[in-house]
Every structure is written in C-alpha cells, then in structure tokens.
A and B are shown apart, each in its own frame.
Chain A
C-alpha cells in the first residue's frame, strides 16, 4: 500500500503476507524519537491496541519502523490515525494554555508598574 511515483515517500505500510489488517508496520521517513515516542505513547493509551512500538533502524538513516498490533479485528491504521489526531489535540490544548498563562503573567508584571 506504499505510494507510487518519484515523489519522496514519507509514510509506507509493510504488511506480512497472510497476516490480517490488524498487524502492520509503518515506515515513517524523516522522523526520529521526537515524533516516534510521543505517537507511541498516544497509541498505547488506546485500549484496542495490543502492541505498539517503534525503532530507529539505523542512526544514520532518518526513518523509524512503527509497529501496531490491534485486537478485536480493528484495522491498524485506525489507532495510528487516532493517535496522531489526539497528539495534535494535546498540542493545541498545550498551546492555548501556554499562551493564556504567558499573557496573564505579563499583565501581572505590568500592573505593579502602573
């Protein structure tokens, strides 16, 4: 199910022959522990996921092998999509909270000066 063509692939799926849709290894290009560990944490929090792990195949290559095994016949793409969406939502919440607190702190600093 990998994309075809000359354009640089960023995401590939590798599936063992005969295995069902629930056990898939994804190859994420141009990524390292930064995204790998955080997505792994979000996907592990999903109760449908039996196994989730990632490895960096070789430190000189910027790609990670991300394996997801699900239980209950769920397609493995689903936890990946959900994990990425949830991580994005976490970032959005952190961003909003952070900006609100910074503005509050700066306003509090300006008040005594007035």
Chain B
C-alpha cells in the first residue's frame, strides 16, 4: 500500500501485530515524550483531525467510524453504552397466582430480561429511600403491566390428535400477552406510544389445562451497571482499522497463497507483465487472524498493523431506542459526569 513510514511515525500511529505479540499498544504521544513533536492538547488540531463516517444505519444496528480520537475516550463511550445508558425494565413482580411448572423466581427473572419499549428519558429514577412507605410507585417513575393467562382444554379438538397446538388453548405464554396498565395520567401522556415489550414472540412459560398465571409487574428506570437487564444494547463494540503493507512484490503462486491467508476481498491479484502480483484492495475487511505469520516464506513479506486512532464502532440496539439515539445519550452521560465533578470542584472552592 503506502510506503513504509519511518520508525517514529510508526510507533506513534500504529499497533504492530507480530508473530509472538503485539507491539506499540499504548498511547505515547504525550508532551515531552518525542523531541520535535508538540503533543500538547489543542482543541483546534483535534477538531481538524476528528471525523465520523457512517457506514450503515438502520433501526436496530449501526456501524460507524470514529477517526482521530484516543482509545481512552472511545472506550469510555463503549463502556457507557453497555452499562450507563438508562432504560426501563421489569423490576418488581407481584405473583398473585402461578400454578405453572416454571418456578416463581425463574419466571420473575425471565420477565426482567424482556426489553420494554418505553422511552427512558420520559421517566424518573425511583427514589429508593422511601421504599417502605410508598410501595406503589408513582406515574412518573413506574410502568405497570399485567400478565393474566389461563390454559384450558380445547373442546373442539379431535379425539386422536396429540398436537398441543390443537389440544390446548393458551398453552404457550408469549411476551405479547403482557398488557400495559396505565396509571395516573399515563394514558393521556403516552396515548400514541404503545408501551409494552419490544418483541411479541418471546416464550415465557408453557402451561397445561388448569394452570394459570396472574402477575402484576412494575417497570422502573435503571442502568446496566446495576443489572444487565437494563443494558440498552445487544452489544456495542469497536475494533481498530487494520492496515496491511506488502513490503516487496509478491507474484505467482506465492501471491495466491498470500491472498488465501487474509479474509476474502482484502488482497487481489492483478496482472502485471503477464504474472499475477498481489495488491491490498481493502484492508478494512480483514479480521487480523495473522494466518500469514504461520508461513515461513510469507511472514517477512507483509507487515500487519492497526491504525491506533481509527475506531470502527458497531452498536446493536435491543429495540428500546434506535442506535443513533443510544450513542447520543452515551456522549451526554460522559459530559454529565465531567460536569458533576466540575461543579463539585467549583462548590468546594467557594467555601
């Protein structure tokens, strides 16, 4: 690809994947480390080098590139997406009748994990201090839901059938059976937003005739740090952009083998003067398996590395909030953390 950069540039900007280890992992561009470089933080330089590129956006997942930022901050965004963006989830389960074969606590655990489609920004955290006095919870911090299913025998089933679909009515309890019960003024405020589980086909329990479930649930606002059920992402992850440099021309049969060492579409063979020469087409597609380093005759022909400040983020939402809203909320959470300590510092100073 591009000409090999000089040593200092490489240490500053690239993570090298070697045969037995990974080199240059840590960020070293702090003021004073490199003579001749001014590494002091400068907002205008950051703004000039920083860019975000969208690759793919839809309602459930998105992929985007963040270039020009350090791993510490990119990782902070990832950690906040997983653990500190709030959502609503079922917390208190009041079981009035459960004669099914699923134990109470197992059923309650499963109910907690169901993603609930309610915008958490419109709700408050429940105040845990007065829990003893106010068990009900008010309309501003609680969503109440009900699950009432009774299984019975199907009178119209034929005598010989053994298919449970035909023999029993309501023998599978799905998340679509969970109904929202508006309390207070929620019916007016959330009239058009249909609050309920995101997916209607989550199987919760199986019943047989005579068994029933009569459950009331309270959903509260929480964060993933407290319990993983509150995490708004199926997962959020990032990887660094791979960079593959071919050090000397590789042709013929070696080029074929080199192509097979990388993921499909990374290396292509082009015709130069009758022989096939390997060329890097798109290193972004590579999964960096380092297969090429296992072959003695190929391992010195390429250099595999990663660009240290180019992050390819993948955010998959559980459906509660669209992924671009989730990233926006995560950035706002980090900002509010900084503001909290800044105001703390200012209030101490004034004493």
Q: Is A94 on the interface with B (CB-CB < 8 A)?
A: yes
Q: Is B27 on the interface with A (CB-CB < 8 A)?
A: yes
Please state if B50 and A94 are interface contacts (CB–CB under 8 Å).
Answer: yes
Q: Is B299 on the interface with A (CB-CB < 8 A)?
A: no
The tally of CB-CB contacts under 8 A between chains A and B is 120
Please state if A47 and B40 are interface contacts (CB–CB under 8 Å).
Answer: yes
Interface of A is mostly: helix
Residues of the B chain whose Cβ atoms lie less than 8 Å from the Cβ of A28: 341
Please state if B337 and A37 are interface contacts (CB–CB under 8 Å).
Answer: no
Give the distance to chain B from A47, nearest Cβ to Cβ, in Å: 4
Q: Is A40 on the interface with B (CB-CB < 8 A)?
A: yes
| Cα distance A40–B41 in the bound complex, in angstroms | 13
Q: A97-B50, A101-B52 are in contact. Are A34 and B80 (CB under 8 A)?
A: yes
Interface of B is mostly: helix
| Cα distance A95–B77 in the bound complex, in angstroms | 11
Please state if B334 and A91 are interface contacts (CB–CB under 8 Å).
Answer: yes
Q: Is B22 on the interface with A (CB-CB < 8 A)?
A: no
Q: A28-B341, A87-B338, A106-B57 are in contact. Are A46 and B40 (CB under 8 A)?
A: yes
Please state if B54 and A31 are interface contacts (CB–CB under 8 Å).
Answer: no
Q: A95-B331, A97-B50, A98-B52 are in contact. Are A47 and B31 (CB under 8 A)?
A: yes
A-B contact pairs, 27 of them (CB 8 A): A3-B348, A11-B348, A33-B75, A34-B76, A34-B80, A34-B83, A34-B84, A34-B334, A38-B76, A44-B30, A45-B30, A45-B31, A84-B341, A85-B338, A87-B334, A90-B69, A91-B334, A92-B335, A93-B43, A94-B73, A97-B50, A98-B324, A98-B328, A99-B328, A101-B54, A101-B64, A105-B57
**Hey, which bits of chain B sit against chain A, CB under 8 A?**
27, 30-32, 39-41, 43, 46-47, 50-54, 57, 64, 66, 69-70, 72-73, 75-76, 79-80, 83-84, 324, 327-328, 331-332, 334-335, 337-342, 344-345, 348-349, 351
